[in-house]
Amino acid sequence: MKISIQGEKGSFHEVAARQFFAPQAIELVPCSTFDMTINSVKRGEADFAVMAIENARSGSILYNYTLIRESGLKVLGEHNLRVKQNLMALPGQTIEDIKEIRSHPIALAQCMEFLNCYPGITLIECEDTAASARIISEKQLKGIAAIAAMNAAKIYGLKILSEGVETYKKNYTRFLTIGDEEKMRSDGNKISVCFSTGHKPGSLAAVLVILAQMDVNLSKIQSVPRLNGDWEYMFYLDLELSKTSTPGMIEQALEKLTRNLEVLGVYNKDNVLYES
């Protein structure tokens, strides 16, 4: 089974993909951007894509909402990954030897409380956490450290200088599994939808009232501009179904109150046990 991810071997995307599809064996299709991750599935180069959609500390990745909707692919599952960031460098070095730290900008943002303790160290933004670790290893760069997953240190032979440097110790990232519509289930307990509403008072409130009456839990709501020049917005909702509601009932109810309604996916909620 081929799984496309943004990033490369040793990245948090790899960890999320392997945990989601376990115990099945998977082959990674590394991609440098989220666009390439999605397109690899559309071109048949990968069976599924696994991509981050939001982080407990950094918030939503807004671009990915639009990317999924415009791709024609569907959300088939979700996985909540506890993200532990680690500072790593070549063996034989200490934090006092480090002049530069490289990582993905979101990873750096998640660790600013730790990084602020070292104002003399230059922070460099890179496209991937694991790639930062790999380059240090391949080029034997002394005085340079990376922030990445523990797995990256093991793969590239780096030494952990400081473990768990993320500021928020319940630092979770939510990943979505994306694939062809024909693979989408119909009996999941969670549904993701997007729609727009009219420019009049109470349009969105009417939607929320209907969902409450159906005993449907709204676990996520996000607005993204439609980019049509009229300052209209698409609303993206994650809905947890009740025992008496079905995806079909949700879609039928929302069709009466919204415009441009689209079901992005039906899947099962990841009931992860959050830990510190």
Reported in sequence order, the residue ranges of the chain that DSSP labels E, i.e. its strands, are: 2-6, 27-31, 48-55, 59-60, 74-82, 86-89, 100-103, 122-125, 144-148, 159-163, 172-179, 190-196, 217-225, 233-240, 259-267
Cα–Cα distance measured from residue 179 to residue 49, given in angstroms and rounded to the nearest whole number: 7
Number of DSSP helices (H) and strands (E) in the chain, helices first: 9, 15
What's the mean pLDDT when you consider all of the chain?
Answer: 93
pLDDT at 168 over 60: yes
**pLDDT higher for 153 or 228?**
153
pLDDT at 275 over 80: no
Closest CA to 94 of 118, 111, 124: 118
Q: Which two tokens stand for residue 62?
A: 């807004």
Q: Which two tokens stand for residue 191?
A: 């549904």
Domains, the chain, with CATH or none: 2-82+171-183 (3.40.190.10), 86-163 (3.40.190.10), 190-267 (3.30.70.260)
Residue type, 221: I
Q: Residue 44 to residues 24, 68, 127, 224: CA-CA distances in angstroms?
A: 20, 16, 25, 29
Residue type, 169: K
What is the model's pLDDT at position 27?
A: 97
- Across 42-46, 48-52, 181-185, 227-231, least confident range: 227-231
Q: Average the pLDDT over 79-101 and give the result.
A: 97
Over residues 193-221, the pLDDT tens digits come to 999 987 788 889 999 999 999 999 999 99
pLDDT at 236 over 60: yes
Cα–Cα distance measured from residue 99 to residue 83, given in angstroms and rounded to the nearest whole number: 25
Over residues 96-139, the pLDDT tens digits come to 999 999 999 999 999 999 999 999 999 999 989 999 999 999 99
What is the model's pLDDT at position 274?
A: 45
pTM metric for this prediction: 0.90
What is the model's pLDDT at position 228?
A: 64
Q: Average the pLDDT over 244-269 and give the result.
A: 93
Bridge-partner residues for 144, per DSSP?
Answer: 100
DSSP string, 202-242: THHHHHHHHHHHTT-EEEEEEEEE--SSS--EEEEEEEE--
Place of tokens 């009932």: 249
% of the chain residues with pLDDT over 90: 85
Over residues 32-59, the pLDDT tens digits come to 999 999 999 999 999 999 999 998 878 8
Q: Average the pLDDT over 161-168 and give the result.
A: 96
% of the chain residues with pLDDT over 70: 96
pLDDT at 230 over 90: no
